[in-house]
Amino acid sequence: MMQPASMGELIYLDHAATTPVDPAVLEGMLPYFSERYGNASSIYGLGREAREALDQARLRCAEVLGCQPSEIVFTSGATESDNLALRGVAWAARIAGSGRDGAPHIVTTAIEHHAVLHTAQSLERQGFAATYLAPDERGIVGAPAIEAALRPETCLISLMHANNESGAIQPVRKVAEIACERGILVHTDAVQAAGMLPLGVDELGVDLLSLSAHKFYGPKGVGLLYVRKGTAIDFQQQAGSQEQGRRGGTENVAGIVGLGLALERAEERRVAYIAHCRSLRDRLMRGVVAAIPDARVNGPLDPALRLPNNLNVAIPGVDGETVLFNLDLAGIAASAGSACTTGNTEPGHVLLAMGLTAELCKASLRFTVGRSNTEGQIDRAVKEIVRAVERVRAVGSNVLRTV
């Protein structure tokens, strides 16, 4: 069993939103905020020291992904990486085929992160074409559906490795096999997969892959985009010669060092982390379902098709955000879906795409466990979840009686 982190009275059950920086990762980063503060583009010793740190981080990431270090582009996070993947491939296709009939076409899914969805929609406004495929009731988009959506002018398929809300693992490898036969590039947003699923790019068969460090116990504000050698991509951020001319701007050396260390440590601990998370997630699921019989688990019930740390559950008759406020008062942090959409009163797009009603979407809660959690915390969380639901339902009943 992993050792709990020191988090006071807080029970943190929102690891899909972000994770605390691993102390060993922070220790490795600290020198690059102080005595090793050089600009990696400078030719003197301090700069060369920073460049060496970048090279070492790139090598660490490449070893986890099973690629060449030169195939990794460091970014500010997965949002930038997703934007670069879609825009870069789409514009490269337009430039290469400017006289061909039909606009370059992207196939993606209705359950992608908004970093992908909004980018695809933006490209549509610029004259590109896009298809958004709905998942089945489990939250999975099948390879046959993607194959049926392909066109002669399709230049890219963007399919996330695993969904951040439902936890559903997508058939990236099968889709990549189909795409390879047709000469179509494949991008995967693998943000939720690091430390839980294999990330070998050859095994996945992908041409582009996005990661964000803060999802696997690294720092915020840094990520990467893997770009397979030979991939036609129009790099978007122009400035100096940083990242081999692929992304201009002074490198975030400390952040990149943290990314490399965090990804390496996440891969080294992956087997133990999966077992730890699955045990606690299942304990949480059993407790909630037993105490709230009408609770419904959203997403795949087959553990092979779901991230081991994810539980998404709909509880009829409650407002999810109201339950979350009650849980927060009890010292429990959870969410109603993606942290990027918190505060939006509209039902979550992922659950809606899976066929849930708007009412059930708004009654859904997402719990994602991690390194810091213990069995004792899970047992306490179950009790507080039940209390919060009973309290919210009681208030709702009283309101109805007075109407």
Q: Distance between alpha carbon 323 and the CA centroid of its chain, in Å? A: 24
CB neighbour class for 20 (10 Å; exposed up to 12, middle 13-18, buried from 19): middle
Q: What distance in Å separates the CA atoms of residue 106 and residue 124, rounded to the nearest whole number?
A: 9
Catalytic status, residue 67: no
CA dihedral 314→317→319→324, nearest 10 degrees, is -60
Pair 291, 388: CB distance under 8 Å? no
Over the Cα atoms of the chain, what is R_g? Answer: 22
Strand order from edge to edge, sheet including 105-109: 72-75, 223-227, 208-212, 185-189, 154-158, 105-109, 129-133
Pair 238, 271: CB distance under 8 Å? no
Residue with the two structure tokens 């020198």: 31
Q: Which residue type sits at 68?
A: Q
Pair 122, 102: CB distance under 8 Å? no
Nearest to 187 by CA among 299, 74, 78, 75: 78
Residue with the two structure tokens 């009603």: 357
Instruction: Say which residues have a Cβ less than 8 Å from residue 271's Cβ, sequence separation at least 6.
Output: none
What would the DSSP string read from start to end of 128-190? -EEEEEPP-TTS---HHHHHHH--TTEEEEE--SB-TTT-BBP-HHHHHHHHHHHT-EEEEE-
Q: Distance between alpha carbon 396 and the CA centroid of its chain, in Å? A: 35
Instruction: Say which residues have a Cβ less than 8 Å from residue 222's Cβ, sequence separation at least 6.
Output: 74, 75, 76, 77, 212, 213, 252, 255, 256, 258, 259
Residue of 155, 180, 340, 361 with catalytic role: 340
Residues facing residue 154 across a β-bridge: 105
Work out whether the CA dihedral 320, 325, 330, 333 comes out positive or negative.
positive
User: Which residues are marked as active site?
Assistant: 340
